[in-house]
Structure 1
Amino acid sequence: MDKNNRFTILGCGHSESLLHYNNNALVSNSDGTLLIDCGHTAKHALHDLALTIGDIDEIFITHVHGDHVFGLERFAYETRFKYQKRIKLHYHPDIYHELWEQTLKGSLSKIGEGSLAFDDYFELCPLTGPSFVSCGNHYDVFEVAHTPGKKTLGLCVNDKIFYSSDTIAIPEILSELSFEVGFHDVTLSDWNPVHATLASLIDYPEAIRKKLYLMSYEDSWPMFEQQVNAYFSGFAKQGMSVEF
């Protein structure tokens, strides 16, 4: 297994953020690069890291919300017409209908060539179990607790990196995972019922809290930075990387 793995926060912002890109991430090594989620800001975020859509080999989708999937339209068009390749797209089979039929089909199914299907753009790789392999890395996936009725997955890479995607507090799941560095969803408001509040995360055991960077936060984050630094590893910052 490649020892030069790098986990990079492509964007760390809440869906309403004006200061940060959508909460997406990259896992890269000499075998290739996996994009975790593909929000509408993904192309711009890659550009800031001197990368292009053509540099992405695989994508994993955690769930169907705009800040996690709306960038797929741009990726589909550019990979087909500009880069002449199909990116591997990993996703839970339960979200196929929501992702293609309800989200992407309206803009991608009719082009100058005629009618196209989802797999004309991507190499579809629906999950067949609780794990998958990408670019030589092992990913364990598990359901987290986001919007009721919406399948949402978190993941753990090589038992080293935990990534929650969007979720409320999930202490039972975290207590069962082995990881060295974690990235956890947070909301800094007190009204959002589908993201983890700061207070709920402070209730995590200290041994878990100190391994966590908080992500997907609102633009008011500087007001909370001192408190977050006291209880956690800090806020995940856009462009930060962890080698593992």
Structure 2
Amino acid sequence: MSQQFRIMMLGVGNGFVKSTYHNNALLEISRRRYLIDCGALAWQSLYELGLGFEDIDGIFITHLHYDHCGGLDEAALYGAYAARRKMKLWLPAPLQHALWEQHLRGTLENVADGKTSLADYFDIQTVEEGEPFWLTAGISAGDAGADRPPLSMRWMSTHHVPSKFSCSLVIDSRLFYSADMVADEALVSRLHQEGITDFYHDCSFDSSPVHASFEALCQYPAAIRQHTYLMHYGEAPSGLEEEALCGMKLLRQHEWRTWP
């Protein structure tokens, strides 16, 4: 059964554009909030919304670029020494070792405090490819004290930087969220045939070997383009009109979109 949720992009930028922040998303189901990626500017973006660490129930990380995981240091340290709680952290299995050893250990390892692993900072759930995991809904008025059904998620490996792991998400069996990836018409066509109705897709208006170019996305079938929402584009070219997007739409920073 489909679950009602909503998504806001905390940013639609790439790693270098400051005005539209990093390509991370805030997902809300009932009264609980989760992050898809946590880049170096994620907490600043949340602050501008009047939100902070205490308002976030968990994080999923798609890959290890700083604009997608550079805010985890702050989450770990604030959780351990200020909030005194471990935030839920969902990790694709290939990232579990690398996130600590190659990214966070130099900052977070504190032998004197007995903090020598990622599990000392986060409540970790390691997830295998294709394995479903669930985001729990909060209790709302009228629910008679019962939680609403959880929101299903699963990840799949997708192509971004050669030889480096990166993945995308399927949310509630109806939304594909690409994180960072090159154009892959075969993949999105298969997902569309399997019932995915909408696509949040990485897009670059400039030439890039590791992101989906706008020109390549315009080659996707029309039935898919009409339900494709572009992110990671940074700043859209000036004068760009909606009719010039080949049927696709631009996601905007700090705007909610609700899924009934």
Match of 1:157 among 136, 149, 171: 171
- The answer for unaligned runs of 5 or more in structure 1 is none
The amino acid that maps onto 1:206 is A
**CA RMSD in angstroms, aligned pairs only:** 1.9
Aligned CA distance change for structure 1 residues 240 and 180 (closer, same or farther; 3 Å): farther
5+ long unaligned stretches in structure 2: 137-149
Q: Residue 225 of structure 1 contacts residue 235 of structure 1 at CA under 8 Å; is this kept in 2?
A: no
Shift of the 90–118 alpha-carbon distance from structure 1 to 2, 3 Å rule, reads same
So what's the TM-score if we normalise by structure 1?
A: 0.92
How many residues in Structure 1 have an aligned counterpart in Structure 2? 242
Alpha-carbon separation, structure 2, partners of 1:172 and 1:189: 22
Q: Which residue of 2 aligns with 1:134?
A: 135
- Amino acid of the structure 2 residue aligned with 1:8: M
TM-superposed CA distance for 1:2, in Å, is 7.9
Match for residue 190 of structure 2 among 176, 197, 201: 176
- Number of the residue aligned with 2:241: 226
Shift of 1:97: 2.5
**Whole-Å separation in 1 of the counterparts to 2:47 and 2:247:** 30
CA drift of 1:126 comes to 0.7
Contact 1:229 1:235 in 2 (8 A): no
Please give the TM-score of this superposition, normalised by the length of structure 2.
0.87
Between the aligned partners of 1:7 and 1:231, the Cα distance in structure 2 is 23
Name the CA distance, whole Å, in 1 between partners of 2:80 and 2:112. 13
**1:233 Cα deviation from its structure 2 partner:** 3.4
Within 2, Cα distance between the matches of 1:153 and 1:78? 27
Structure index of larger Rg = 2
User: Post-superposition shift, 1:100?
Assistant: 0.7
Cross-structure match for 1:202? 218
Where 2:238 maps in the other structure, the secondary structure is: helix
| 1:87-125 residue CA offsets vs partner (Å, 9 max, x unmatched) | 111111111232110100000012762543210110111
Aligned to 1:94: 94
* 1:66 correspondence with 2:75: no
